[in-house]
Amino acid sequence: MGTPILQVQNVNKRFGGLKALDDVNLTVMEGTVHAIIGPNGAGKSTLLNTFVGRLIPDTGTVTFAGQSLIGRKPHEINQLGVSRVFQTPEIFEDLTVAENVMIPAFASRDGAFRLHGWESLSREAGIRDRAMACLEDVNMADKRAMLAKNLSRGDKRRLEMAMCLVQEPKLLLLDEPTAGMSRADTNNTIDLLRQIVDAKSITLAIIEHDMHVVFSLADRISVLAQGHVIVEDEPQRIKGNPKVQEAYLGGAHL
């Protein structure tokens, strides 16, 4: 509980004349839910992109469990133990729900590549069971034979979650997971995430706009504004913080 799992130190990134990330320092502790919030254009997505190897910062380090994440390929980062949920659920639309979860299961068992062309899927009971267990955790077991493209938006999100969970990741990254969701769906997602956090010892790093979500889940919050972390603190103390209110300037209702 007291060990840092993701450490961002002195990260700077400039795009031409724009300083997108300005000496960002951030530490996510193991087993916690850490939210990153901030007004639009604050640099949240840019920061996330450095976590997942999509963007190489000009200076600074991004370390996960002792290993640097900078410039790594996405599959390497995943094999280290980082799973990611996208703003719009990224799933395998043409495959069934069960297959969608089996693939990540294979990836975590077999690594980045294995030429298992002679084995039969029907014999992979272990993988199948793991997949079904995760589908049950997200209440999607009954839909296992459906084609993923026929799922509702909320179900796709849950499927994506199952795909991440089956890999038993050390860190789960969520990029605005409730964007565009109805109130009901959002609450469902919050419950699901709460369930996951309580049941498994996964660390969550969430980028969110919806304050209701943030305050329901987060143990710690980092507030990003204009590429710089202006405050990092517990949720209760963030609420009344004048610097945060100033940054939002009539934005989210805290």
Partner 1 sequence: MTPTKTNDRILLAVFSLLVLAGPILLAPFGAGYPDLLQKFAIYGIFALGFNILFGLTGYLSFGHAAFLGVGSYAAVWMFKLLSMNVIPAIVFAVIVGGLFSLVIGYVSLRRSGIYFSILTLAFAQMSYNLAYSVLTPITNGETGLQVTLDDPRILDGGASGQPFSNLFGLNMIETVDASVLGMPVQFNVGFYVCAAILIGCFYISMRLFRSPFGMMLKAVKSNQNRMSYTGLNTRPYTLAAFVISGMFAGLAGGLLAAMDPLAGAERMQWTASGEVVLMTILGGAGTLLGPVLGAGLIKYFENIFSAINEGVLMDFWSFLPETLQHALVSVSSLFVGEGWHLTLGLIFMVIVTFLPGGLIEGASRLGRLVTNRGKGENGAARPAPAPAE
Residue ranges in contact with partner 1 by CB under 8 A: 52, 73-75, 78-79, 83-84, 90-95, 99, 102-104, 106-108, 110-122, 124, 127, 143, 145-147, 150, 163, 167
CB of 57 to partner 1, least distance (A): 20
CA distance readout (Å), 160 to 5, 34, 148, 207: 23, 20, 10, 17
As measured in angstroms, the least distance from the Cβ of 238 to partner 1 is 30
Smallest separation (angstroms) from partner 1 to the CB of 250: 36
- Closer to partner 1 by Cβ: residue 133 or 230: 133
Instruction: State which residue, 102 or 223, has the beta carbon closest to partner 1.
Output: 102
- Choose between 145 and 249: whose C-beta lies nearer to partner 1: 145
Nearest approach in angstroms of CB 97 to partner 1 is 9
Which residue from 219, 220, 216, 215 is spatially nearest to 231, judged by alpha carbons?
A: 220
Q: Residue 194: which H helix or E strand, with range? A: helix 183-199
Nearer to partner 1, 118 or 242 (CB): 118
**183-199 vs 153-165: helix crossing angle, rounded to 10:** 10
CB of 51 to partner 1, least distance (A): 12
Cα(26)–Cα(12) distance, rounded to whole angstroms? 13
| Cα distance between residue 7 and residue 220, in whole Å | 14
Report the candidate in 71, 68, 72 with the shortest Cα–Cα distance to residue 58. Answer: 71
* Residue placing its CB nearer to partner 1 in the complex, 124 or 232: 124
Looking at the Cβ atoms of 102 and 247, the one nearer to partner 1 is 102
Closer residue to partner 1 (CB): 160 or 208 = 160
Rounded CA separation 51/82 (Å): 9
Beta-sheet strand order (sheet of 4-15): 18-29, 4-15, 59-64, 67-68
CA count, 13 A, side-chain hemisphere, 107: 24
Write down the least CB distance from residue 90 to partner 1, Å: 4
Q: Strand 228-233 vs strand 220-225: parallel, antiparallel, or unpaired? A: antiparallel
Cβ 105 to partner 1 shortest distance, Å: 10
